[in-house]
Structure 1
Amino acid sequence: MSERVIAPKSRGFLFVDSHPGGCARLVDDMWRAVPAPSPAVADRDGDGPVALVIGSSAGYGLAATIAGLARAGVRGIGVCFEKGPGRRTATAGWYRTAATARLARRHGHDMVFLNGDAFGDAMKDQVAEVLAERFGGRLDHLVYSVAAPRRTDPDTGVVHASVLKPIGAPYTTKTLVFDEDGAPGVRDVTTAPAEGDDIERTVAVMGGADWERWISHLSGRSLLADGFTTAALSYIGSPLNAAIYRQGTIGAAKAHLEATARALDERLAKSVGGRAVTSVNGAAVTQSSTAVPGIALYVGLLRGVLGDAMVTPVGQLADLWDRLTGVRPLDLDTEGRVRLDAWELDPAVQEAVAERWSAVTGDTLTELADLDWFTDEVRRLYGFSVPGVDYGATVETDVPWPAPTA
């Protein structure tokens, strides 16, 4: 047993420990926030479609896992890469996965969670074996939600590292900062443009290569069910951050992801009558998004405009599952993408955010951006600031990885 009181200690947006109780309560809250399934789905009694979520422990991947279980009644496999407890607590994703597994069991869903490098072929082999032995050799849906700083190419052994850089010229933007006392402020930050093979390396990590490799690997084992659907989660974002995001190195990777979707869609239509799409989600506070210059400030201003009208990740993913499972039509834009970001990119919303962006300074920041919400959202990524949790009480940190039930 390893019980102790866990206080939040951070370096910027990164926390050195996570709170198991807060992470578990957060997962519970997300589950309860998912719209109830239709009676037909609720009556499946644990025999729902088989799904694989790659990147299941954080951000939109976590939302995809919880919404898939609670809304679409899926069973299957979640893949993530988390660190267990030791000198420090486990990562927040470790605790969130343990909590998700408990809820899945409680609601009668057979969900296996595998911890390891999703980019490696060893994990692909392990998933294929579980699908064959436990789920009848059939996969109905695959959601791909991987955000990682680096990837080892399984064929060459070369390690590619992604970068967050503009293309062609330096980029200067406003960004949200906090001083040593935690007081918020606004300052300009300049990012140098991509050079050398920055774009190619970022595409190798964040583009569609690994997604395509997963599909090829599982298809080669004859594991894709008739009508199989797959979605890779993506983001376009506002014109206010386009230079560092959609028009930058990450944008090049997203363009490659979308091109991969179109190629996979054609291939799957011929082989199993299936579909492949990218899903463009709306803005959210995630461990990945806070690393992008200017995004934290933008999201705080967006929340200041929309308030509770912001659509949560789990709400968006419930919508996506409805489309993947045929509850709603799988409508696409002209680029072949599912759009779940209309609420964010509504012209009136973007105009209001742009006005605040132009006016925001250190003096006006707390008036124009919802910083209380933003800082609480960052803390909730690590299990802190979750309502209903007693942070003065001791909590068990040595939580085991969820073992698959028989």
Structure 2
Amino acid sequence: MSERVIAPRNRGFLFLDSHPAGCERLVEDMWAGVPAAAGTPDRAPVALIVGSSAGYGLAATIAGLARAGIRGIGVCFEKAPTERRTATAGWYRTAATAALARRHGREMVFLNGDAFSDSMKNQVADLIERRFGGRLDHLIYSVAAPRRTDPDTGRVYTSVLKPIGEPHRTKTLVFDDHGAAEVKEVETRPAEGDDTYQTLTVMGGADWERWIEHLAGRDLLADGFTTVALSYIGSALTAAIYRQGTIGTAKAHLEQTARSLDERLGPFVGGRAVTSVNGAAVTQSSTAIPGIALYVGLLRGVLGDALVPPIAQLTELWDQLTGARPFGLDGEGRVRLDSWELDPAVQEVVTERWNAATTDTIAGLADLDWFRAEVERLYGFAVPGVDYAAPVETAVPWPDAGHTG
């Protein structure tokens, strides 16, 4: 037994430990928030979610299980508990998701390892072949990673969050050691050398395409196979560091990859490939981007409960993937789940608040309590209904891949 009381310890938006009971309750609440589908599919679709343990990938996994009745495989990279530290929050979220899937009779296997590697692709292909009927219906790709090792060359590429061309100054939101909010200006130096190429190689469409080619090479794509890479565009307020920066170049490459895959999948299996542009959310990846914390806090201040959480967005995406409703594509062929965020009237008010935001005024402009709690919930803290004064077991095992649901 490795029970202990876990208190939140953090450096900025990064927490040193995570809370197993809080992560479990968070997953249960997300599942409970998914409306039941109108009917039961004739056959449970087989799905692969690459990046299944956090953010939109976690939402895709839970919504797929609860709404679309999927079975299949989730791939992620998480750290196990040790004597000194808890496991990562994604480890506990995955264990909780697997337990819920079993409880609802869903067959879902979770694999922990490097999604960029060919060995993981082989492991997934073998599972699809021997356990899931040899045919994959859906692949959702949701990977945000700091680095990638090229399977062909062994070279390690590193992604960076930098503007292109000129330094960029922006407002950003930070909290001091006592939890007080402060609005600061920060400057980010522009990309140098091959920064942009390296970021594109990590966060662009190369690995997504490699997954599709690998599975197609094993003859594992079902007729009508669909695949979606999750993406983000965001506001003009954050464009210089995001959509027009190194990460934006990678997202543009992701969209280009979707068009290329779509052209090939159509004649091959009658399939589709698209990107899904999701709306803003507090995630472990987004909090690392300068300005995003301030922007999302202000957005919540404007929209309140009308801000659409990831689980609701991914529920809508699964309805489109399974044909419950038609694909809602823009002129670039992208699924758009961010219209609520980029509504011009909403953006006008957010921009006004952004321009007025200072340390003295921020409390009246942004929903700071919500934002602070959302960051803590990423690690299993600040979840309603959890007794944080009680000891909790930290040595939670990884879900047993041999359990069939």
TM range (shorter): over 0.9
- What is the aligned counterpart of 1:61 among 57, 60, 66? 57
What's the counterpart of residue 88 of structure 1?
Answer: 85
**Aligned-pair CA distance for 1:331:** 2.4
Per-residue CA deviations over 1:359-389 (Å, capped at 9, x if unaligned) read 0100111100000000000000000000000
> TM-score normalized by structure 2?
0.98
Per-residue CA deviations over 1:65-88 (Å, capped at 9, x if unaligned) read 000000001000000000011020
Q: Report the Cα distance in structure 2 between the residues aligned to 1:366 and 1:176, rounded to whole angstroms.
A: 11
Q: Report the Cα distance in structure 1 between the residues aligned to 2:185 and 2:112, rounded to whole angstroms.
A: 39
Q: Which amino acid aligns with 2:335?
A: V
Deviates more, 1:31-40 or 1:332-341: 31-40
- Tell me whether 1:139 sits opposite 2:136 in the alignment: yes
Per-residue CA deviations over 1:160-203 (Å, capped at 9, x if unaligned) read 00000001111000000122322111010000111110100000
**Aligned-pair CA distance for 1:399:** 0.3
Q: Report the Cα distance in structure 1 between the residues aligned to 2:139 and 2:286, rounded to whole angstroms.
A: 23
What's the counterpart of residue 24 of structure 1?
Answer: 24
Q: Report the Cα distance in structure 2 between the residues aligned to 1:83 and 1:180, rounded to whole angstroms.
A: 27
- Tell me whether 1:280 sits opposite 2:313 in the alignment: no
Secondary structure of 1:181's partner? Answer: coil
What's the counterpart of residue 269 of structure 1?
Answer: 266
What's the counterpart of residue 367 of structure 2?
Answer: 370
- What is the aligned counterpart of 2:228 among 209, 231, 234? 231
Q: Report the Cα distance in structure 2 between the residues aligned to 1:52 and 1:200, rounded to whole angstroms.
A: 28
**Aligned-pair CA distance for 1:303:** 0.1
Q: Report the Cα distance in structure 1 between the residues aligned to 2:72 and 2:243, rounded to whole angstroms.
A: 33
What's the counterpart of residue 70 of structure 1?
Answer: 66
- Tell me whether 1:350 sits opposite 2:347 in the alignment: yes
Per-residue CA deviations over 1:88-118 (Å, capped at 9, x if unaligned) read 0000000000000000001010000000000
- Tell me whether 1:102 sits opposite 2:99 in the alignment: yes
What's the counterpart of residue 205 of structure 1?
Answer: 202
Q: Which amino acid aligns with 2:161?
A: L
Per-residue CA deviations over 1:209-260 (Å, capped at 9, x if unaligned) read 0000000000000000000000000000000000000000000000000000
Deviates more, 1:77-86 or 1:176-185: 176-185
Q: How does 1:234-273 map to 2 (within 5 A)?
A: 234-273=231-270
What's the counterpart of residue 221 of structure 1?
Answer: 218
Q: Which amino acid aligns with 2:114?
A: D
Q: Report the Cα distance in structure 2 between the residues aligned to 1:207 and 1:389, rounded to whole angstroms.
A: 38
Secondary structure of 2:389's partner? Answer: coil
Q: Report the Cα distance in structure 2 between the residues aligned to 1:250 and 1:238, rounded to whole angstroms.
A: 14
Q: Report the Cα distance in structure 2 between the residues aligned to 1:48 and 1:313, rounded to whole angstroms.
A: 23
- What is the aligned counterpart of 2:159 among 162, 168, 179? 162
Q: Report the Cα distance in structure 1 between the residues aligned to 2:202 and 2:214, rounded to whole angstroms.
A: 18
Q: Report the Cα distance in structure 2 between the residues aligned to 1:274 and 1:216, rounded to whole angstroms.
A: 13
Secondary structure of 1:39's partner? Answer: coil
Superposed structure 1 runs of 4+ greater than 3 Å apart: none
Secondary structure of 2:68's partner? Answer: coil
> TM-score normalized by structure 1?
0.98
Q: Report the Cα distance in structure 1 between the residues aligned to 2:204 and 2:192, rounded to whole angstroms.
A: 18
What's the counterpart of residue 36 of structure 2?
Answer: 36
In structure 1, the gaps of 5 or more residues are none
- Tell me whether 1:338 sits opposite 2:354 in the alignment: no
Q: Which amino acid aligns with 2:317?
A: L
What's the counterpart of residue 316 of structure 1?
Answer: 313
Deviates more, 1:172-181 or 1:205-214: 172-181
What's the counterpart of residue 147 of structure 2?
Answer: 150
Q: Report the Cα distance in structure 2 between the residues aligned to 1:22 and 1:158, rounded to whole angstroms.
A: 38
Q: Report the Cα distance in structure 2 between the residues aligned to 1:403 and 1:80, rounded to whole angstroms.
A: 15
